């Protein structure tokens, strides 16, 4: 076994047009991923994430270079061998209504069953274990058609696990999920990588989750020139912000969150601390104020906790008022003629 389970050697990805001209979407890049790592592939819409994942999974030929899994060229592997080493979970919704959760997960065993397709007791054990790993025991006997999107996603991940692959490739596994389910799904995949030694490559638009969970980020901007690194390095070197730059949205390097970008905003000072400070600041910035942490001459000031916990005091010029809810504060700001924008 080589140092890297997955190796990309000058791989470029894209499409060959009818007249045989190539449309290179992902420019040649070389990278290695050791076993047991979670890699998140991120990038704006249409940058080429799905194209690259299909190329790495051997579903389309690279335009140049080679993709190696444990030293073997994935595109050259026969499909049965590939299915034992690599499983792929794509986003398209499957129409397999009459199947139960269990029978769908059991399909993951096909690469291992003889021509009859009969599952042996050890196959059933693997299926049950895969269902347990994703916490889908309650879905085993349910018809797939009756499941929610999040429940279906769990079953599809269990099916991929039942293949007992060295590597899983997932295209947007957190799409269609609500926020708690997104976090659960990402934590599950991270645990599978770290505790079970699987190598996991997934694409996602959940940038915040990717920054928090990924061992490595593959950042694919529109230019097609892949940037690879630790999440924190890509934030600090500006690659992250540059890839997602937009006129209306800005990446806040302090908090690691995206914020709506406002122009011509009014400055306001905010003094306080704790969770109340965080959410008052959130409301002010949402309304387009530039929030200063120190008071300055001629600038309205909000002080938190002066009249007891959960209170605010607003001073505009010589006028002062106070209250409790953030709603009341925002109203007072408008009445005090401190327009945000
Ligand atoms: N079969 C195809 N033939 C030619 N071009 C294609 C084909 N499939 C996708 N493309 C183009 O390749 C580019 C990359 O598409 P891709 O789906 O890989 O992007 P993506 O980063 O996954 O996007 P999203 O975040 O929106 O899912 C797009 O411009 C798309 O229109």
- Residue 334 is predicted with a pLDDT of 82
Which 3 state secondary structure label does DSSP give 159?
helix
Q: Which domains are delineated in the chain?
A: 4-247 (3.40.50.300), 266-335 (3.30.160)
How is residue 221 written in tokens?
């901007």
Ligand 1 atom closest to 220 (CA): 21
CA 189 – CA 160 distance, rounded (Å) = 12
How is residue 48 written in tokens?
């080429």
CA 310 to chain centre: 35
Q: 20-56 pLDDT, tens per residue?
A: 788 999 999 999 999 999 999 999 999 999 999 999 9
How is residue 158 written in tokens?
């269990």
Residue nearest to atom 29 of ligand 1 (CA): 46
Q: 218-257 pLDDT, tens per residue?
A: 999 999 999 999 999 998 888 988 888 776 777 877 777 7
Cβ of 49 less than 6 Å from ligand 1: yes
Residue nearest to atom 3 of ligand 1 (CA): 15
Q: Report CA(287)–ligand 1 centroid distance (Å).
A: 36
Confidence of residue 94 (pLDDT cuts 50, 70, 90): low
- Assess whether pLDDT exceeds 90 at residue 133: no
Ligand 1 atom closest to 203 (CA): 22
Whether residue 89 contacts residue 171, with contact meaning beta carbons closer than 8 Å, is answered with yes
% of the chain exceeding 70 in pLDDT: 93
Residue nearest to atom 17 of ligand 1 (CA): 50
| ipTM (interface predicted TM) | 0.97
Q: Report CA(219)–ligand 1 centroid distance (Å).
A: 16
Q: Can you tell me the mean pLDDT for 100-118?
A: 86
Q: Can you tell me the mean pLDDT for 57-69?
A: 95
- Assess whether pLDDT exceeds 50 at residue 339: no
- CB burial class (10 A; 0-12, 13-18, 19+) of residue 143? middle
Q: Which residue has the higher pLDDT, 113 or 125?
A: 125
Give me the chain's average pLDDT, please: 88
How is residue 310 written in tokens?
């959960």
Closest CA to 157 of 132, 183, 179: 132
Mutate to test the pocket of ligand 1, among 14, 48, 54, 169 (most ligand atoms within 8 A of CB): 48
Q: Report CA(37)–ligand 1 centroid distance (Å).
A: 26
Single pTM value for the model: 0.81
The CA distances from residue 268 to 65, 124, 245, 281, in Å, are 55, 63, 26, 10
Q: Which residue has the higher pLDDT, 315 or 340?
A: 315
Cβ of 26 less than 6 Å from ligand 1: no
CA 23 – CA 227 distance, rounded (Å) = 20
Ligand 1 atom closest to 91 (CA): 27
Q: Which residue has the higher pLDDT, 143 or 265?
A: 143
- CB burial class (10 A; 0-12, 13-18, 19+) of residue 80? exposed
Residue at token pair 């991929």: 160
% of the chain exceeding 90 in pLDDT: 56
Query: Alpha-carbon torsion 52, 55, 61, 64, what sign?
Result: positive
Confidence of residue 83 (pLDDT cuts 50, 70, 90): confident
- Assess whether pLDDT exceeds 50 at residue 341: no
Ligand 1 atom closest to 47 (CA): 21
- Which residues touch 240 (CB under 8 Å, ≥6 apart)? 207, 211, 219, 234, 251
Ligand 1 atom closest to 54 (CA): 18
Cβ of 279 less than 6 Å from ligand 1: no
- Assess whether pLDDT exceeds 90 at residue 92: no
DSSP string, 186-221: HHHHHHHHHHH--EEEEE-S-HHHHHHH-SEEEE--
- Residue 262 is predicted with a pLDDT of 60
Q: Can you tell me the mean pLDDT for 161-189?
A: 89
Residue nearest to atom 8 of ligand 1 (CA): 51
């Amino acid at each position: 076994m080589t140092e890297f389970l997955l190796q990309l050697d000058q791989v470029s990805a894209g499409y060959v047009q009818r007249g045989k001209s190539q449309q290179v979407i992902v420019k040649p890049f070389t990278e290695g991923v050791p076993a047991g790592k979670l890699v998140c592939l991120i990038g704006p819409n249409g940058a080429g994430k799905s194209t690259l994942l299909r190329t790495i999974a051997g579903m389309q030929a690279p335009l140049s270079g080679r993709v190696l899994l444990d030293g073997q060229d994935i595109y050259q592997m026969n499909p049965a061998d590939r299915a034992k080493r690599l499983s792929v979970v794509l986003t398209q919704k499957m129409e397999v209504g009459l199947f139960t959760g269990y029978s769908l997960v059991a399909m993951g065993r096909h690469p291992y069953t003889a021509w009859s397709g009969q599952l042996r007791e050890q196959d059933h054990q693997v299926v049950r274990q895969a269902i347990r790993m994703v916490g889908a025991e309650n879905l085993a006997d349910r018809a797939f058609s009756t499941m929610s999107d999040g429940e279906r996603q769990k079953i599809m991940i269990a099916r991929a696990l039942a293949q007992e692959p060295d590597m899983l490739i997932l295209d947007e596994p957190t799409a269609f999920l609500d926020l708690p389910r997104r976090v659960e799904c990402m934590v599950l995949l991270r645990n599978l990588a770290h505790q079970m030694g699987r190598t996991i490559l997934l694409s996602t638009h959940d940038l915040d989750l990717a920054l928090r969970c990924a061992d490595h980020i593959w950042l694919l901007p529109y230019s097609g020139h892949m940037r690879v690194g630790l999440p924190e390095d890509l934030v600090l070197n500006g690659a992250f912000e540059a890839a997602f730059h937009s006129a209306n949205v800005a990446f806040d390097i302090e908090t690691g969150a995206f914020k709506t970008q406002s122009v011509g905003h009014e400055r306001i000072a905010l003094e306080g601390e704790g969770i109340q400070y965080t959410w008052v600041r959130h409301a002010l910035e949402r309304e387009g104020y530039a929030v200063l942490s120190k008071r300055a001459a001629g600038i309205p000031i909000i002080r938190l906790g002066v009249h007891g916990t959960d209170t605010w005091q607003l001073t505009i010029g010589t006028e002062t008022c106070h209250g409790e809810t953030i709603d009341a504060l925002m109203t007072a700001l408008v009445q005090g003629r401190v327009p945000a924008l």
